[in-house]
Amino acid sequence: MPSQSLSPSKRDADVTAPPTTTTALTASVPTAQTSEQLPNPDKFNGQQSDLRCFTSQICQKITMNLDYFLTLNSRMAYMTSHLEGTPYAQILPYIQDRICELSDYIKILEILEKAFGDLNLEANTRANLFCL
């Protein structure tokens, strides 16, 4: 069979041409974006002087990286994984079948504050300021 050569105009007529105008799809289509991951805080071991820093860092981590901690269980597991020694033992009674039964990680922080926090924070802070 002889091969037929199509003229450029005939060949182009058989092909559907792309639209002549284009729109920027990226501007109208939302993209899934993850937050920049903050560093993990050190584990809390019960040292009273470390509690406020630990509380601040753990709250910032969970709040700013909420896209990593989508469920209550993931927040609770992250929180309890950053406790060791006596603080972990303080929370252990609330863990049943490997799940912390408290309402959220803030409840854990409240328990830690009662157990390890500075009961005279205001007076001690004032005294420390006078020493400066």
For 85, what's the count of Cα atoms within 13 Å in the CB-facing half-sphere? 7
Instruction: Indicate the average pLDDT of the chain.
Output: 81
Distance CA 105, CA 74 (A): 10
39 domain residue, yes or no: no
42 domain residue, yes or no: no
98 domain residue, yes or no: yes
- Please tell me the predicted confidence (pLDDT) of residue 30: 43
52 domain residue, yes or no: yes
DSSP-derived secondary structure for 25-56: HHHHS----PPPPPPPPPPB-S-HHHHHHHHH
pLDDT band at 28 (very low <50, low <70, confident <90, very high): very low
Structure-token pair, residue 51: 């509690």
20 domain residue, yes or no: no
Q: Decide which of 131 and 15 is more confident.
A: 131
Enclosing domain of residue 91: 48-116
Query: In total, how many domains does the chain have?
Result: 1
Distance CA 116, CA 45 (A): 10
pLDDT digits (tens, 9 = 90+) for 95-117: 999 889 999 999 999 999 999 99
- Please tell me the predicted confidence (pLDDT) of residue 26: 44
55 domain residue, yes or no: yes
Global pTM reads 0.67
pLDDT at 29 over 50: no
pLDDT band at 73 (very low <50, low <70, confident <90, very high): very high
Distance CA 122, CA 128 (A): 10
- Please tell me the predicted confidence (pLDDT) of residue 129: 75
25 domain residue, yes or no: no
14 domain residue, yes or no: no
